[in-house]
Amino acid sequence: MKRLEHVQSKIISPSQAACLAEMYRLRQQKMVFTNGCFDLLHLGHVTYLSQAAALGNKLFVAVNDDASVRGLGKGSHRPVNPEFARALVVASLGFVDHVIVFSEPTPLNIITQIKPDILVKGADYDASICDPSDKRYIVGKKEAEAWGGIVQTIPLVEGFSTTLLLSKG
């Protein structure tokens, strides 16, 4: 398989993710899940995703589709890159095993299909928050804990965010 085809093969559907997750569970491989827009991939993203991958054997990354990025209120100019390009760039990272593009406002459906052992978000979220209306609430926390998964936050790299990079013009 050519290298680009290998990277493209990491981009899978939610149903493929669920099937792979079941196989990994049978093999007792620890699955990690995270999600984000990943609009302009930067040092903060790479550091975050590599730390997430180090927590288990398989890393699933859900990437917001274009419509769901616009629904997050990040501005009319977002996303800068279309969903397939964002997914492909994330998939090109060697420590990312699978990428799923999702269209819902949150990745809850994918989380409940995969049932990861570890649900990861950046430290701008708070695993102790139980109120879904709080913007720091981690979607899927309650569900992951119900099946014995854990929820973990990873420190962000200060000074690196897509919004900050775009504001520099």
Task: Provide the residue ranges of all domains of the chain, joining segments of one domain with +.
Answer: 3-164
Output the average pLDDT for the chain.
92
Question: Residue 161: which pLDDT band, with cuts at 50, 70 and 90?
Answer: low
CATH class, 3-164 region: alpha beta
Q: Got the DSSP string for 79-117?
A: -SS-HHHHHHHHHTSTT--EEEEE-SSSSHHHHHHH--S
Q: What is the mean pLDDT of residues 39-56?
A: 94
169 has pLDDT over 70: no
Residues 30 and 56: beta-carbon distance below 8 Å: yes
**Candidate from 5-14, 36-45, 67-76 with smallest mean pLDDT:** 67-76
Q: What sign does the dihedral 153-65-144-58 (CA atoms) show?
A: negative
Q: What is the mean pLDDT of residues 123-135?
A: 92
